[in-house]
Structure formats: C-alpha cells, structure tokens
A and B are shown apart, each in its own frame.
Chain A
Amino acid sequence: MNDLTPDREERSAGLKGLGCSRKRVEDARFTQGKGNYVDDVKLPGMLHGDFVRSPYAHARVVSVNKDAALALDGVVAVLTAEDLAPLNLHWMPTLAGDKQMVLADGKVLFQGQEVAFVVARDRYVAADAVELVEVEYEELPVITDPFESLKSDVVLREDLAGQTEGPHGPRKHHNHIFTWEQGDETATNQVLDDAEVVATESMYYHRTHPCPLETCGSVASMDKVNGKLTLWGTFQAPHVVRTVASLLSGIEEHNIRVISPDIGGGFGNKVGVYPGYVCSIVASIVTGQPVKWVEDRMENLMSTAFARDYWMTGKIAATKDGKITGLHCHVTADHGGFDACADPTKFPAGFMNICTGSYDIPVAYLGVDGVYTNKAPGGVSYRCSFRVTEAVYFIERMIEVLAIELDMDAAELRRINFIKKEQFPYQSALGWEYDSGDYHTAWDKALKTVDYEGLRKEQADRVEAFKRGETRKLMGVGLSFFTEIVGAGPVKNCDILGMGMFDSCEIRIHPTGSAIARLGTISQGQGHATTFAQILASEIGISADNIAIEEGDTDTAPYGLGTYGSRSTPVAGAAAAMAGRKIRAKAQMIAAYLLEVHDDDVEFDVDRFAVKGAPERFKTMKDIAYAAYNQAIPGIEPGLEAVSYYDPPNMTYPFGAYVCVMDIDVDTGVPEIRRFYALDDCGTRINPMIIEGQVHGGLTEALAVALGQEISYDKMGNVKTGTLMDFFLPTAWEVPNYETDHTVTPSPHHPIGAKGVGESPHVGGVPCFSNAVQDAFRAFGLRHTNMPHDHWRIWQTANDLGLHE
C-alpha cells in the first residue's frame, strides 16, 4: 500500500453513504425557482379545464344547459356525464372497491361535486364559462351525521339500492358501507365483565385535510398520430395511475406514459384518482389537444381527499394496579358520498387494528362501520400509514383516561404495560407481528431528558398557585408513546386494486464508475434523490455524488406502488439495497478475475474488492466497472446492471416517545408550547439531517391538526372551512422549535435495518399535543374533550370546568 492510499475511514466518508447528513441534490433547482411542477408544464396548443361544481350537498341534477358557455369565445367543449357515458367513464372505481361519479350522473352527493367540465383556451375563459353553464338542481334532504345516516330513510347511494353485499361484506342499511371486525369480541367482553377496573370513553377524531402547498392537477396529451397518451400529474403512485388509466380508457398500457414531475408535497392528498385526472384525459382525447387541469385551493379542500372523521368508542380493562387486560374499540367511520378511502384492498379501515399501540394487551376487539353521508369522499392517510394516526390517538387517549380512572401517573401506566424488549417479535391481539422494539429504553431516555418528575412537581405547584389566584395559566404535560406500522407491504396481504405492494429498483453502472438508479416510488419532498443514492453508495462502493436517482416516469422507471404510508425506505429502499447487492456479487467475480484469484478470495472493502489478507492487492469499483464494459471475461456477461423487486416479509414498526410542555391561558384559551421533545426510533438512520427535517414537518402538521385544523360542515352540508382563511395552516409565528433525539433499533428483516420516519412525528405528535392540552385541566376534573383544541374550544373547556368563576 502506498502512502497516498486514503485510509478506510476517509474512503468511507467519501462515499457519503448511510448515516451521512448529506446535503440534498434536489435543492439547487428548487432554490433557483427551477423546479418543474405540474402547473409548470406548458405544451403547444394546450387547453385548460375547469369544473362546474355543485353548490348543494344533496340534490338531483335536473338539467345542464351548456349553450351559453359553448357560445363564449375560446370555449372548446363542455363535458357532462352524458358525454362520458358512451365511453363508460362517467363513473370510476375507487381504491376502496366502491365507485365514484366522475361527473354528476343524475344527482350530487356532496358540496363541490364535479358536475361539468369546461375546456377552454385559457384558465380565465374556462372560469368565465363555468359561470355560464346553467344547472338546474332539485334539493334533497342532507345528512352530515353518520349516526343519523344509519337511521335515515333517505337513500344516499341510489345506484347501490338493494345491494346488501358490498366489497367488504354485508351492508346493514342502505347508507352502510361495511363492517370490519378484528380480534375476539366474546373474549374481550368477558375480560371487560370480569375486570377490576374499566375505563370507557367516546371521542371524535375530526375531519381534516392534508392540504399540501401545491394542489392536485394533471396535463393530458393524447397524440392521435402515434396513439400515445402522456399524462403528467400530481401522482404519489404513477405506475398504478398508468394501470388504472389503461383499464378505464382501453388504451393499451404500453401506449400510456405517466409522469409525476416535481410534487409540491403530498401527505396522502395525491394518492387517489380524481375526476379532474379522468376529465383531462377524456378532454384531450376529444379535442386532440393537450388539456391541463389544476384545482384551486378551495376545490382542493372541498373535493379531494379528506382525512380522519372517525367516531371512536373505547373500553379498556385493567387490574387495580394498572395492568391492562383487554381493549374494545368501535369506530363509526364517516366516508362521505363515495367510499374512496386509499387503503390496501383487504383493509377497509386501514391498519386501525394497530390500536393496541405499544402495549402488551392480551385480548382485544376492533369493529369499524363505514357509513355514507353528504360529505366529500376521501379518507386518505394524511401523513401516516393507513389510519394509524387514528389508532394511535385512540390508544394514547384511552391510556390517559385509564390513568385518570386509576388515579395513576400516565407515564408509569405506560411503562408497566409496554411490550418488553424480549417479547419481540411480538404477536398482537389484533393480528400484527411487531418486528422489533425497545420501548422501555426510549421512554426512560425521554422522561429523563425532560426531567419528568420536575415537570410534574412544577405542574402541581402551578395548580396550587392557580387556586390561590396567583396565576391564570395552567401547565400541561403531554405524553405519547407510539408504534407506527409502515412499509406496506407483504404482497400476500397488501394490494391496491389487485396490484401487490412490492417496490423496485433498477441500477446501471456506467463504464466510468458512475451510476443511475431508477425506482418505483416518487419523492414529494422527502429527498429520495439524496437518500436512495446513500443507500446504494454504501452497498456498491460508489460515491452518492456519482449516483443519479430517477423516479416518476413510467416509461423508464420499474413498476412500483409509489410513495405513501412511509413505504419508500422500507420497501423501495430495500429494493435498492438488494439491487446493490446483485451488483456487488457480479463485481466480486470481475474483481477476482482481474486479480487472478478465486471469487472467494476477494472481499468487499468500502469502495473496492481486495484480496483477503493482502489489502494492497485490490480493484476499486471504478476499475471493476470499466472492466465490465471493456474486457471479455470468460463466463461473465458484459455490463454491470441489476434489478430488484422487493416484497417485504413484514411491515416495519418505527416507534417513539414524545413529551410536550404547554402553558395555557385560561382566560384566552391560548396554548403556548414551551417545550417539545421528540425521540424517534426509525431503525438504521440513512440521513440524520433529512430525518430531523421530516420530524419537524410531521410535528408541525400534528400541531395543526390537534390545535385547530378542521374540515367542518354545517347542517346543510356547506363546507365551512374551504379557504386558508378558515382552514388552519400554522405559520412560522405559531410553531415552536423542536428538540429531536433518537434510539436505534434496526428492523431485523429489512436489508439495512431501516424502518421509515416521514409519518411517525405526525402519528405520535397529534396525541402528544392533545394530551398536553387535556392534561392541563386534569386537576380540575377534565377526562376527555375532542380536538381540535383551538382557542375557543380551550376557553370553552375552562369555562365548563368553572375556571372563569
């Protein structure tokens, strides 16, 4: 070895692989305004589409008169359900096995529903023409409450009348969608009957919306000469969109190219298939010109992809000293006018059955009833894996309520019920196999860092001072410990529209030793181009700076199920590692040939293969790549490429421990977040800088949901929160600084031990903020109050407890 050879550590650092806080390669274009989002796509002759939407939540559409609109200069077409019917595109299948109107077919079921699609020269003319379409409606009784819906004679979905069997089993009522049951109800009821203590609580997890800064949109371009359809759009799952577009339109799949360009945030909003996408495609086929559709913010909040809206009732059984013995959970799920929930096919309530949380609960039962109402369809996972936010909120509130019932400290109650390290892999009562965890270590670290005992002492003093009239501020200590379930998922039980939820990576090493890798996922800000290159760098010994990552173009990328539910790292990241290992295996043979030794006599060392016991005899990956292309090696094909399709053997189970300290002004209802500590365990950490950024972002969305963000309706089904004036998005002014921390418990089945992190902070954050608010009032008798805890509702709570007297 000569003195110029860099040592191992230096070579390793040069790779910028796993564990490196590598700066993002995406940023150069974004900071210079050179991102390419769907609304930036501009094609020659491109037309603009815009929707006529229903002002009513439930009405019959008596007639649609297009004449005045068509007479306007610049209007090219006005499409209604009647125009789409011959193509069989007036309805479309939803991800939940239901179907949804693309354009109103005889009636409308929610305010803002798409009634007609206007296509015009530019967006102004289109908007003018929307005003000119005359629609005659006949109002019908409106139902916005799912409990009322299940009792009502009013049939919301007349198209399903008489169907007593739905895609997820029997329907009990004409407005009922499904019942989904997990666990053992008889045994659970028995435990509840025999229990020393039972705590019961009902809670409403309000309807909200992911509201990424960029709304949804698409540009469809049908090239009639070549028979090729190109579709740009805000798609979190471009390959699935291609398959669905092919099945719906009859255009062969190889003649459809779907491109997800840069995406301005997704958070679940961009998983579904929306009428706008379908209409832009049809309009392009009809007009022969490219057609763009981009929704405005009001349309986004009113019509695409709400989240949550779960009415949950829990019963938790325990011994007198706090050992939980059973859990019963029932959910009435408001799905709106169509069941368009974005869940794997066999999970109509997503992974709600993770609701036993981080606790060793021997017996449990979950029942979910899905119900139609006159509200927008959706039910997406807003920055969480399918319905996991609801599940974690439920159990973390039940724990607090049980602590009140037992007059026990809530941190201690958690500790004595955690699944123990040695119990992993742990079989939960509701059917999951938790892969790994070390909850006690994380919890102890969190409580110690925040000086939990000191906080409780300070809080008790504050209560006394409040009672003496010395302060008007109460102090809340919010706790949450969550287990996420991400990385869907094993193909044997997770699919979307029949497509197994694997993911993929294809990698090609160039002769000069740089590389390009393509994956079936798509970044919406998570920094895939940065982190996937890091995974590969560590696997194949080529610097991340020399590995280009591409996603989102179905003509070039391998098929994958996309990015949502924190599945990119657990699934596509694993595919990347496996593809990298295939490259390495071939590289080993090439190196052995070049070094004139047996394959088994060389070993991988950071960026090279060296002869065992003779590290000065080596070939770098660069040498090997070159040889792969310029040398005839007996028995080895030229080139250096690999593909991997990865079907994960199990989900991954990231977890974390959060503590929030809040001061609440009883007279104004304003909560002030004094401290927020977040410990996350996402297994192996690929890029700590990006992880930290994901945690900040997820916590901020959690703050929003817990403290004010809501999609609410009045009795007439009018959306009351349809603009950013009423729909709460926190600004820099409202958001605190967060303290982040971690433990590392690698996933035993993931090739690099990573678990995914993008959604954990949202899942764990919502109950933490909510628990902090509620904890502040515990000393005054509060048991539970529903989110969102905006100033008015907090004031109301204080008032109900008599704190203003």
Chain B
Amino acid sequence: MFDKMHIKMNVNGEDHEFLAEPRDLLIYALREKLNITGPHVGCDTSHCGACTVTVDGKSVKSCTMFVAQANGAEITTVEGIGQPDALHVLQESFREHHGLQCGFCTPGMITRATKLLEENANPTEEEVRFGMAGNICRCTGYQNIVKSILAAASELNSAKEAAQ
C-alpha cells in the first residue's frame, strides 16, 4: 500500500539489498526479511531493549527505528558478535556467571554490553547498572548479568594488558 523503498545495509559484515515500506521498523526488517532472529520484540515501545542492535556504532532499539532510517547503515546484531567456535568474551561470561535464564533478553543484553565496554572499558558496578538500564530482564534479577559484564570487562582488560 505504500511505495517500496530500495534499502541497502550491511548486517554483521554481509551486504543486503531489499525492498521495504518506509514505515517498516528495523526490527521487523531484520527478523522477517533477513531472518536475523537474535534481536527480539519485548514491547514495541522502546522500553525493554530486547531488540537492541548496533547501528553505525551506536546502541539502538531497533523497534524504534524505521528501516528507512537505517538505509546505508552498518549494523551488528548478536549474531555478529561472536562465532560458535570463537565466542565473544561476554558470551562466555554470561554462561559462566549464569547471566541468563529464558534467554529472551540475552541478545539485547550482550549487544548492549559490547558497546558499554567499548565506551567504558573499566566500569564500576554502578556504571554497569546505569549503562544497562535500558535493557529489561524479567528472569535474572540482574545480579548475575552485572557480574557477567564486570567479569568480561576485567578479562578483556587483562587480555589487552597481556598484548601490550
């Protein structure tokens, strides 16, 4: 019913081109056109963060961005953060510290946490809690999520030190 737009985007290192209505939300374009189902829909109203992806270097709730706004963008979803045989430190850490239960919030949590640690490599517990406040988890009570992120931060830092 609306004229379709020609959209180009790079998702997790792969180029995609497709037609979409300008009103289509980024989350549905990812999930339904590109079959990238890691990001989830928990609310549709930018409260829960289950749909968090990285768009041109920034954490974005993809239920609140039109696909048209992401035209030409570089996007990373949880699927692009690690590989089965080379998991990201955060992915390991969430498992190690029981930072997830039902797993529905987890893709958004991990995607957001990667940016958080890029923005602040040495966060305090308070900074982690504040920096993750846009991501809701109904299962874990956050304590182990915070623990997972702090542990990942220190691991990443010691790896960096060792490399220097």
Main secondary structure of the interface of A (DSSP, over half): loop
A267 beta carbon closer than 8 Å to chain B: yes
9-residue interface stretch from A321-329, A360-368, A696-704, A780-788? A696-704
Q: Is the CB of A733 within 8 A of B1?
A: no
Q: How far is the CB of B62 from chain A (nearest CB, A)?
A: 13
Which residue of B23, B37, B102, B130 contacts A265 across the interface (Cβ within 8 Å)? B102
Q: List chain A residues, Cβ under 8 A from B19.
A: none
Q: Which B residue's beta carbon lies closest to that of A761?
A: B141
Given A31-B87, A737-B143, decide whether A211 and B138 contact each other with a Cβ distance below 8 A. yes
Given A729-B136, A738-B141, decide whether A31 and B40 contact each other with a Cβ distance below 8 A. no
Q: List chain A residues, Cβ under 8 A from B40.
A: 37, 39, 213-214, 264
Q: Is the CB of B102 within 8 A of A524?
A: yes
Q: List chain B residues, Cβ under 8 A from A197.
A: none
Q: Is the CB of A733 within 8 A of B104?
A: no
A616 beta carbon closer than 8 Å to chain B: no
Q: Is the CB of B78 within 8 A of A33?
A: yes
Given A211-B138, A733-B130, decide whether A30 and B43 contact each other with a Cβ distance below 8 A. no
Chain A, 672-712, contact with B by CB distance < 8 Å: what is the 0/1 string?
Answer: 00000000000000000110111011111100000000000
Query: Could you tell me which residues of chain B, from 79 to 107, have a CB within 8 Å of some CB in chain A?
Result: 79, 82, 84, 87, 91, 94-96, 98, 100-107
Q: Is the CB of A32 within 8 A of B103?
A: no
Q: List chain B residues, Cβ under 8 A from A214.
A: 40, 42, 102, 104
Which residue of A124, A215, A732 contacts B24 across the interface (Cβ within 8 Å)? A124
9-residue interface stretch from A21-29, A331-339, A584-592? A21-29
A699 CA / B142 CA spacing, docked (Å): 11
- Count: A-B pairs, CB below 8 Å: 182
Q: List chain B residues, Cβ under 8 A from A690.
A: 98
Q: Is the CB of A32 within 8 A of B23?
A: no
Q: Is the CB of B47 within 8 A of A724?
A: yes
A34 beta carbon closer than 8 Å to chain B: yes
Q: Is the CB of B44 within 8 A of A297?
A: yes
B75 beta carbon closer than 8 Å to chain A: no
Q: Is the CB of B142 within 8 A of A732?
A: yes
Chain B, 4-35, contact with A by CB distance < 8 Å: what is the 0/1 string?
Answer: 00000000000000000101100010011001
Q: Is the CB of B132 within 8 A of A732?
A: yes
Given A264-B103, A690-B98, A697-B101, decide whether A724 and B43 contact each other with a Cβ distance below 8 A. yes
Q: List chain B residues, Cβ under 8 A from A524.
A: 102
A193 beta carbon closer than 8 Å to chain B: no
Q: List chain A residues, Cβ under 8 A from B32.
A: 42, 122
Which residue of B44, B95, B141 contacts A27 across the interface (Cβ within 8 Å)? B95
Q: Which A residue's beta carbon lies closest to that of B25?
A: A124
Q: List chain A residues, Cβ under 8 A from B60.
A: none
> Among the interface residues B31, B36, B48, B104, which one has the most CB atoms of the partner chain A within 10 A?
B104
Q: List chain A residues, Cβ under 8 A from B115.
A: none
Which residue of A31, A265, A699, A731 contacts B104 across the interface (Cβ within 8 Å)? A265
Q: Which B residue's beta carbon lies closest to that of A703?
A: B141
A526 beta carbon closer than 8 Å to chain B: yes
Q: Is the CB of B45 within 8 A of A723?
A: yes
Which residue of B36, B104, B142 contacts A213 across the interface (Cβ within 8 Å)? B104
Which residue of B96, B98, B104 contacts A37 across the interface (Cβ within 8 Å)? B104
B153 beta carbon closer than 8 Å to chain A: no
Q: Which A residue's beta carbon lies closest to that of B38?
A: A33
A263 beta carbon closer than 8 Å to chain B: yes
A525 CA / B137 CA spacing, docked (Å): 12
Given A527-B101, A724-B48, decide whether A40 and B37 contact each other with a Cβ distance below 8 A. yes
Q: List chain B residues, Cβ under 8 A from A263.
A: 102
Which residue of A211, A693, A737 contacts B101 across the interface (Cβ within 8 Å)? A693
Q: How far is the CB of A41 from chain B (nearest CB, A)?
A: 10
Q: Which B residue's beta carbon lies closest to that of A26?
A: B103
Given A214-B40, A732-B133, A738-B141, decide whether A32 and B84 contact each other with a Cβ distance below 8 A. yes
Q: List chain A residues, Cβ under 8 A from B146.
A: 732
> Among the interface residues B1, B78, B132, B137, which one has the most CB atoms of the partner chain A within 10 A?
B137
Q: Is the CB of A213 within 8 A of B95?
A: no
Q: Is the CB of B133 within 8 A of A31?
A: no
Q: List chain B residues, Cβ under 8 A from A125.
A: 1
A346 beta carbon closer than 8 Å to chain B: no
A30 CA / B104 CA spacing, docked (Å): 8
A293 CA / B102 CA spacing, docked (Å): 21
Which residue of B50, B98, B136 contacts A24 across the interface (Cβ within 8 Å)? B98
Q: Is the CB of B142 within 8 A of A525?
A: no
Chain A, 39-56, contact with B by CB distance < 8 Å: what is the 0/1 string?
Answer: 110100000000000000
Q: How far is the CB of B71 from chain A (nearest CB, A)?
A: 18
A241 CA / B67 CA spacing, docked (Å): 38
A35 beta carbon closer than 8 Å to chain B: yes
A32 CA / B45 CA spacing, docked (Å): 24
A21 CA / B24 CA spacing, docked (Å): 44
Q: Is the CB of B95 within 8 A of A23?
A: yes
> Among the interface residues A262, A264, A723, which one has the most CB atoms of the partner chain B within 10 A?
A264
Query: Could you tell me which residues of chain B, from 129 to 164, have a CB within 8 Å of some CB in chain A?
Result: 129-130, 132-146
Given A211-B138, A693-B101, A697-B101, decide whether A733 and B45 contact each other with a Cβ distance below 8 A. no
Q: List chain B residues, Cβ under 8 A from A724.
A: 43, 45, 47-48, 136
Q: Is the CB of B37 within 8 A of A31?
A: no
Q: How far is the CB of B27 from chain A (nearest CB, A)?
A: 11
Q: Which B residue's beta carbon lies closest to that of A695?
A: B141
Q: Is the CB of B45 within 8 A of A725?
A: yes
A248 CA / B44 CA spacing, docked (Å): 33
Chain A, 91-124, contact with B by CB distance < 8 Å: what is the 0/1 string?
Answer: 0000000000000000000000000000000111
Q: Is the CB of A213 within 8 A of B105?
A: yes
A212 beta carbon closer than 8 Å to chain B: yes
> Among the interface residues A122, A214, A526, A725, which one has the most CB atoms of the partner chain B within 10 A?
A214
> Among the interface residues B24, B45, B98, which one has the most CB atoms of the partner chain A within 10 A?
B98
A724 CA / B50 CA spacing, docked (Å): 13
Q: Is the CB of A35 within 8 A of B98?
A: no
Given A33-B78, A73-B1, decide whether A213 and B44 contact each other with a Cβ distance below 8 A. no
Q: List chain B residues, Cβ under 8 A from A725.
A: 45, 47
A735 beta carbon closer than 8 Å to chain B: yes
Q: Is the CB of A262 within 8 A of B103?
A: yes
Q: Which B residue's beta carbon lies closest to that of A212?
A: B138
A194 beta carbon closer than 8 Å to chain B: no
Which residue of B44, B45, B87, B128 contacts A732 across the interface (Cβ within 8 Å)? B128
Q: List chain B residues, Cβ under 8 A from A262.
A: 102-103
Given A32-B78, A693-B144, A732-B145, decide whether A213 and B132 contact each other with a Cβ distance below 8 A. no
Q: Which A residue's beta carbon lies closest to that of B42?
A: A213
A128 beta carbon closer than 8 Å to chain B: yes
Query: Could you tell me which residues of chain A, from 512 to 568, have a CB within 8 Å of some CB in chain B?
Result: 524-527
A696 CA / B148 CA spacing, docked (Å): 14
28 A/B residue pairs, CB under 8 Å, sorted by A: A27-B100, A31-B78, A31-B95, A32-B82, A39-B37, A72-B1, A73-B1, A124-B23, A124-B24, A213-B42, A213-B138, A214-B104, A264-B40, A264-B104, A265-B101, A265-B139, A525-B103, A690-B98, A693-B140, A694-B101, A700-B140, A723-B43, A723-B45, A724-B43, A724-B45, A724-B48, A729-B138, A732-B128
B-to-A contact residues, CB < 8 Å:
1, 21, 23-24, 28, 31-32, 35-45, 47-48, 50, 77-79, 82, 84, 87, 91, 94-96, 98, 100-107, 110, 128-130, 132-146
Other than A31-B100, A693-B139, give 13 A-B pairs with Cβ distance below 8 A: A31-B94, A31-B106, A31-B110, A34-B38, A37-B104, A39-B31, A298-B44, A525-B101, A525-B102, A693-B144, A731-B134, A731-B135, A732-B130
